[in-house]
A and B are shown apart, each in its own frame.
Chain A
């Protein structure tokens, strides 16, 4: 229940961190907020030769809005995101999803870059990145590249990041003013990972729907974008019948696992129920205030 021995480095720049990753040739782990990695170390499920701590690189923590995008440094804390006026105004779906990430003391340390690079498919941020069409910037010895959510997440806890690459920035297209949104999640206890989670954004007016965005957590090895369900709403509009049809379609688009927490059938049913709830709540918010009242932190 204590970490095994490792070399420890806390470089002041990203380039020095990359040089350390290269030097250890895949045997080093990056330490971001540590809320997933340190438990793995304490249980000795992870035994890296070295930890490269990113917490002494201040240039990796920021929230910036420009040119229709919101850019977040990879080391931006979940707690900062939760209370950020820019995030509440331009990415209210991300702010709402953040309240489901662990508990407030976990969000004090946990980072958005760490959560995305850890790639737990039952976590909230990979799903939100998928729903909002976000992308990440990674830097390695050969320079920078940009990855879309669909290309970043490859399987359970597996991403397209190379062993010598660092996720440095997350870019979200700002949500249009008045967009409806909702994050719905079912878990056994508050703060747990989702058994099923649904992120929804609806752009529209009255019964017309210009764009629908839906993505899942907890129903497969990576977040699933529910394009078939989105298309029903974009084609048929925001009627009760279309919402119900989209929710039923959502359940057919996922192939969830059975495990100790829930059976595949139960997760499929939850996908239908939570998609319906998320859509109804998102639609009710269309045209609403830019900065919604969040459910309490906790």
Chain B
């Protein structure tokens, strides 16, 4: 498989969840394990260019796939514009949900580059935060939408595989 643009491999039992493989076998602990049944969204990653729950996939299913995790967002030592916006708008406290929030928010902007506040709230319902009350997160995503507008692909491109922005 390819993770954040790098070829990676490993051996595991068929029952190993993809999120556990990322964390335990590849050492990519930025992706968090929360509820393990697809509700909380902390484990959200990019699977072949689209946000998906890594707790609801087996690692073996990702053989040959292209994955993106929160570790892949920074480039040249600089935060991704979405991460910058989270920092700027105080969109995290404990940070547990943040990796999932960042990736779900990027996927939202790819399908809907200019979301209304209501649409941002609906999109972010895919990830649960227990401490911020969402206000800062919504502000951050709205701000990032402005910054990213020119860089984010629109919906048709999403139906093809493509790397993380």
Interface residues of A (CB under 8 A from B): 1-8, 10, 34-35, 38-39, 41-43, 51, 53, 55, 79-80, 83, 102-106, 108-109, 189-191, 295-298
| A-contacting residues, B137-165, CB 8 Å | 155-156, 158-159
Q: Are A35 and B108 in contact (CB under 8 A)?
A: no
Known: A38-B57, A103-B126, A189-B125. A7 touches B52 (CB 8 A): no
Closest to B13 in A: A5
A42 and B36 in contact, given A83-B159, A190-B125 (Cβ under 8 angstroms): yes
Residue from the list A2, A104, A106 in contact with B15, Cβ < 8 A? A2
State whether A296 and B56 are in contact (beta carbons under 8 Å apart), knowing that A39-B37, A42-B37 are contacts in the complex: no
Bound Cα distance A297, B41 (Å): 16
A102: chain B residues at CB < 8 Å are: 38
Q: Is the CB–CB distance between B15 and A296 below 8 Å?
A: no
Does the CB pair A104–B104 fall under 8 Å?
yes
B119 within 8 A of A: yes
Bound Cα distance from A2 to B156, whole angstroms = 36
Check A105 against B44 for contact (C-beta < 8 Å).
yes
B115 at the interface (CB under 8 A from A): yes
Give the interface residue-count category, chain B: 35 or more
CB-based contact A34/B57 at 8 Å: yes
In contact, A105 and B41 (Cβ under 8 angstroms): yes
Instruction: Please give the distance in Å from A48's CB to the nearest CB on chain B.
Output: 11
A to B contact number (C-beta, < 8 Å): 115
Distance between Cα atoms of A103 and B128 in the complex (Å): 12
Partner of A39, one of B56, B112, B125: B56
Main secondary structure of the interface of B (DSSP, over half): mixed
Find the A residue at minimum CB distance from B15. Answer: A3
Residues of B whose CB lies within 8 Å of any CB of A are 13-15, 17, 20, 36-38, 41, 44, 47, 50-53, 55-58, 60-61, 104, 107-108, 111-112, 115-116, 118-119, 122-126, 155-156, 158-159
- A42 closest partner in B (C-beta): B36
> In the docked arrangement, what's the CA distance between A234 and B52, Å?
43
Bound CA span A141–B112, Å: 44
A109 x B52 contact (CB < 8 A)? yes
Are A35 and B15 touching (Cβ within 8 A)?
no
Inside 8 A of A43's CB, which chain B residues have their CB? 37
**Chain A residues, CB < 8 A from B119:** 296, 298
Contact call A105/B107, Cβ cutoff below 8 A: yes
Instruction: For the A-B complex with A109-B56, A190-B125, A297-B108 known, give 13 more contacts whose Cβ atoms are closer than 8 Å.
Output: A2-B20, A35-B38, A35-B56, A42-B17, A42-B37, A53-B61, A55-B61, A104-B108, A105-B52, A105-B107, A108-B51, A295-B122, A296-B115
Query: Given the known A-B contacts A103-B125, A105-B51, are A8 and B38 also in contact in the complex, defined by CB atoms under 8 Å?
Result: no
Note all chain B residues with C-beta closer than 8 A to A298.
108, 119, 122-126
Complex CA–CA separation, A104 to B56 (angstroms): 14
How far, in Å, is B161 (CB) from chain A's closest CB? 12
In the complex the two chains form, what is the Cα distance from A79 to B46 in whole Å?
14
* Distance from B123 Cβ to chain A, minimum over Cβ atoms (Å): 4
Task: Please tell me if the beta carbons of B122 and A190 are within 8 angstroms of each other in the complex.
Answer: yes
Q: Which residue of B lies closest to A41 (CB)?
A: B15
Write 23 A-B pairs (CB below 8 A) sorted by A numbering.
Answer: A1-B36, A2-B15, A2-B36, A4-B15, A6-B15, A38-B56, A41-B15, A55-B61, A79-B50, A83-B155, A103-B41, A103-B104, A104-B108, A104-B111, A105-B41, A105-B52, A105-B104, A109-B53, A190-B122, A191-B125, A295-B122, A296-B115, A298-B119
Nearest-neighbour CB distance to chain A for B94, whole angstroms, equals 21
> Could you say which residues of chain A place their CB within 8 Å of the CB of B51?
104-105, 108
Residues on B with C-beta less than 8 A from A297 are 108, 111-112, 122-123
- Residues on A with C-beta less than 8 A from B116 are 296
- A143 to B129 CA separation, bound complex (whole angstroms): 49
Residues of chain B within 8 A of A1, CB atoms compared: 36
Least CB distance, B107 to chain A, in whole angstroms? 6
Distance in angstroms from B61 CB to nearest chain A CB is: 6
User: With A8-B58, A296-B115 as given contacts, are A105 and B125 in contact (CB-CB < 8 Å)?
Assistant: no
Beta-carbon contact of B122 and A296 below 8 Å: yes
